Amino acid sequence: MSELNEKGNQLIALLADGEFHSGEKIGELLGVSRTSVNNYIKALQEIGLDIYKVTGKGYCSAVPLTLLNQHIIQQVSGVDNVHVEQILESTNQYLLDKLPNISNGQTCIAEYQAAGRGRRGREWVSPFASHLYFSMYWRLEAGIEKASGLSLLVGIATVNALEKLGLHGVGLKWPNDLYYQGKKLAGILIELNAQASDVCHSVIGIGINVRMPEQQGKLIDQPWIDLNNISTQPVDRNQLSGLLIKELHSLLSDYEEKGLAPFLDRWFELDYFLNKQVNLIVADNVQTGICRGINEQGALLLEIDNEIKPYIGGEISLRLANN
């Protein structure tokens, strides 16, 4: 990413309007040669920006870009400790690197992640200015015991924020995915730093598909959907970010005080797999049963031969039984 310095940011801001800009004009604006302009354009294409080049007209972004705006996000959320970056390795890692000298609720949002992470070490495809790459630090005073239901609570907060934008019909898949009509819309990755009897430092990572470029979509190995396929209007990532921060602050405070119990009814409303036959993959073993929701500890409840058993933690994956 060495090519993308401040001049790269200037070029992104210029192309965001979706209009054509000549190479000569871009070169003058940036104070660089036409060759350098080509190099900057290539670097932007490599991080997922769809840029057209037409002889005699110049360059344009395939779609107009509404870039992240720290000030707007702060206004919508009512929270000041929001940090916006153009390019990072990972928003989660940005916050993890600052522990423990970080204020509670500190949020980092980026236009692009060079090394975005999903669950179980998977890569999270992160094209530039297309999706929401969001991380928040939260200090759990009660310690690591409180972390067991955290991803479930975060899932509920994320659906709540989407509903406040008018986006309905999104469900939750235990323990950390958002689904819409059987396709993955968003994922949650929580990373913890804690000693057994001390406070628990958590970094809550949320990735939401907003507008998937065609080429980037081909890199994903499971059915996916984005918000622009759900919504009749383009989704404003600044509004979404602000509402998400607001919702997380509210729900996390309640969760610390009361645990997961007050949120169980909401989970059961949103549980995509509730009362469906599922396969639960635990290490190398597959358990088939009926999903019966969750308990107060955040464990998945699986009914096998008329007996309900809780499953939690470790390397567990949930699938519909016919998939």
| 206 vs 155: CA distance, rounded Å | 9
Question: Could you give the 3-state DSSP secondary structure of residue 232?
Answer: coil
- Active-site residue, from 119, 139, 164, 309: 119
- Active-site residue, from 7, 25, 98, 319: 319
- Contact in structure between 27 and 11 (CB atoms under 8 Å): no
Q: Do the bridges between strand 307-311 and strand 300-304 make them parallel or antiparallel, or are there none, so unpaired? A: antiparallel
Q: Do the bridges between strand 107-113 and strand 82-88 make them parallel or antiparallel, or are there none, so unpaired? A: parallel
**Amino acid found at 286:** V
Partners of 317 in beta bridges: 281
First to last CA, the chain: 39
| 78 vs 245: CA distance, rounded Å | 9
Q: Do the bridges between strand 300-304 and strand 200-208 make them parallel or antiparallel, or are there none, so unpaired? A: unpaired
- Active-site residue, from 98, 139, 184, 309: 184
| 3 vs 276: CA distance, rounded Å | 50
Q: Catalytic annotation on 319?
A: yes
What six digits make up the tokens of 109? 């949002």
| 54 vs 244: CA distance, rounded Å | 39
Q: Catalytic annotation on 184?
A: yes
Rg of the chain, C-alpha, whole Å? 21
What six digits make up the tokens of 161? 């924020």
Q: Which residues are catalytic?
A: 119, 184, 319
